[in-house]
Structure 1
């Protein structure tokens, strides 16, 4: 009898009506959708309507900072809602935006927003980057935009003259890259110029010291196809500024090459190949000799210290020995230069694409060497070492 009564009670409990669903996620998503539409429409009043009074001054400052950025899209996708009492919530959301005329895919970054409910409506009280997410340029100051023929340069704390000079160099880089990398690509580039090295670190979500002496880096997702997150070339204003015109042009052409080759680059691509190809494209047609363009490696080879093998990925890590890093880049460049000279530029591109198309790192280079160049890793390494002695010894 007791067992039957217990079973009945359990059945009744199982049939009990659940409580009403939490409507907050849907209401917050609708709020963020309206907020995004207002930003795209440059409707300050509608944008401010989503903001709590304590959030409004800072948010409207960001609204103004974005005035010169030509946005094609801007939107939030709610990922998680954490209720904190009856009238407060913290949410994680992906912010995705595209720059008009330049981005085929979106830049996506995680945001954490605090909200409060007042009189039946939700308002944003705080908005910050997610854990480990980088800053965005407009959060660092007023953004000034300079449009080139093939480029868009967005800067904070920079003179218009400097931004125009960078745009001119980027405009020269795009056709140079298209001549070196013949597969179709967007043929345009977005360059970010923060105010300082520290600000650059903020954009990259890492310690600024790691990028000291690095003139520029390119962000992006390898092998993601045409809808992959958009690339950005981020200039270190301090290191870039001490270069001469030639060095600055090489840097921007190198970084633009990464943009062009992004969809053909994958986890199977060793860094010596991706960085070596970018340097090859940047130096192509400049008339610079190997001795001029590879001074650190030349010193080592002249002293009888010829590398035994191509550098591994760890050799390209920022923040370590600057001379060793230079030798790694120079080694990758001369490997690509060897392929272009012995097998031809078309074969170099075919080799790059074949490596990137492999399903994984293991066997990728070996297979591409065999099928594209008709050689083996051992034969190629021996040829590369002889090439170094010939050009740098």
Structure 2
């Protein structure tokens, strides 16, 4: 702490009034000290000096809302300079992030962008920074029919006479990939790929997305909406993007879900890749995963209530339909399991598809074999009709009878017989 000092023009000269004031100060000091001494001698409690109050910067909602409005405008108009001006003075990282987000928005052709300040998420720290809940909307033009809607955490800072913006993403809520930082973007008429990684990675993922679309349309020709694929930098970034618990996607190469975490029928649905798993796959396996997830997009599977063995098995049927590999490889895990324990007694349950299940790969393979069996029995069109009926709420027994003339028990037995034969 600094204290203003009087001018040093010379030694001070004390007059009568000055001496009285000086004596008064001394007397007051002595009296105060005597009072403390008397208190300490007559009280049973020890004297505790009061804790100094820590003064934190206060939240200014109006200025915060104004800053977010300015950022929204910069994103909408692709004004990098205006965005950079919202960073705290001298904060190069915040400035780079703001510029990157605006460039992402331009490359992704974001539309319907809105950012509305809702409330603070805590008291500002000593550096003046705090998190705010912001109602946000956005849409990827040409691919999303409706805007995503989510409450996103933004990082704000009291920067003197204004509120500055330093970043986004909080421990609670989704964190859209376009708000992470610089992205690689690849676009065709049917595919949009955004990657938090290298240009080489973006080229590879984009090529697989381009391959997946016609593969799906060979089975589902009515699907004409495009495919959006998002690739965060790591599985932990994937969890933060989707507001998922830690470990949820550790075994998963990719997942199809809404971008805003809602189950609203109008919510945009994209494929999200876990690079920690996906990048370890061989080219054929990586393409199967991409086509599998693209099938989920095409069928609106993420909100379906049908049994998971059909939902996942059908997606694998489409993905593996044109793959030239022997079943001994494409079903190697379930074959090994059957050799060890015999065939399962029932079709795979929802619990068998838990993301932390040890034998998850075998479960997916077994579900694929059910759908392959049905296609062999009744043809591909019958399988698609069966899938649609189940998606529409038809009971399993009824849908099986209508499409294949089979009962659930007959399907289960035929599937167990095929598994036994493959394992022998």
- State whether residues 276 and 334 of structure 1, in contact with CA within 8 Å, keep that contact through their aligned partners in structure 2: yes
Aligned to 1:244: 282
Instruction: Tell whether the 8 Å contact from 1:148 to 1:167 is kept in structure 2 after alignment.
Output: no
In 2, the alpha carbon distance for the partners of 1:83 and 1:248 equals: 43
Q: Distance in 2 between matches of 1:355 and 1:244?
A: 33
* Aligned residue number for residue 194 of structure 2: 154
TM-score (norm 1): 0.77
Q: Report what 2:182 is aligned to.
A: 142
- CA 352–26 in structure 1, closer or farther in 2 if over 3 Å, else same: farther
How far 1:318 moved relative to its partner? Answer: 1.7
Q: 1:22-59, CA deviations, whole angstroms, 9 ceiling, x for partnerless residues?
A: xx98997676455323212112354467x474697555
Contact 2:342 2:420 in 1 (8 A): no
- CA separation in 2, counterparts of 1:75 and 1:364? 43
2:139 is matched with 98
Deviations 1:139-190 (A, max 9, x none): 44421212345322212232x222112211111111001112233341x222
Deviation, 1:246, is: 1.0
CA deviations 1:218-260 (Å, max 9, x no partner) are 22279855x32232x2222232222222111111111111111
- Corresponding residue for 1:302? 339
Mapped contact 1:81–1:92 kept (Cα < 8 A): yes
Which protein has greater RCO, CA pairs closer than 8 Å, 6+ apart?
1
Q: 1:286 aligns with which of 323, 337, 341?
A: 323
Compute the displacement of 1:287 (Å): 2.8
Deviates more, 1:269-278 or 1:141-150: 141-150
CA deviation profile, 1:288-310 (whole Å, cap 9, x unmatched): 33322111111122346101111
* Partner Cα separation in structure 1 for residue 232 and residue 295 of structure 2: 21
How do residues 224-235 of structure 1 correspond to structure 2 at under 5 angstroms? Answer: 225=265, 227-231=266-270, 233-235=271-273
Which of 64, 70, 73 is residue 108 of structure 2 equivalent to?
A: 70
Q: Give the corresponding residue for 1:170.
A: 209
Alignment of 1:87-236 (within 5 A): 92-113=133-154, 123=163, 128-129=168-169, 132-148=172-188, 150-158=190-198, 160-186=199-225, 188-207=226-245, 209-220=247-258, 225=265, 227-231=266-270, 233-236=271-274
Using the alignment, how far apart are the partners of 2:82 and 2:399 within structure 1? 56
What's 1:345 paired with?
Answer: 380
Cα–Cα, structure 1 residues 374 and 26, in superposed 2: closer, same or farther, change >3 Å? farther
The yes-or-no answer on 1:44 pairing with 2:80 is yes
| 1:253 aligned to which of 277, 283, 291 | 291
Aligned Cα RMSD in Å? 3.4
Residue in structure 2 matched with residue 313 of structure 1 by the alignment: 350
Aligned residues: 356
* C-alpha distance in structure 2 between counterparts of 1:164 and 1:81, whole Å: 40
Alignment map for 1:10-29 (pairs within 5 Å): none
Deviation of 1:385 (Å): 1.6
Q: Is the Cα–Cα contact under 8 Å of residues 268 and 364 in structure 1 kept in the other structure? A: no
Gaps in structure 1 of 5+ consecutive residues: 1-23
- Counterpart of 1:6? none
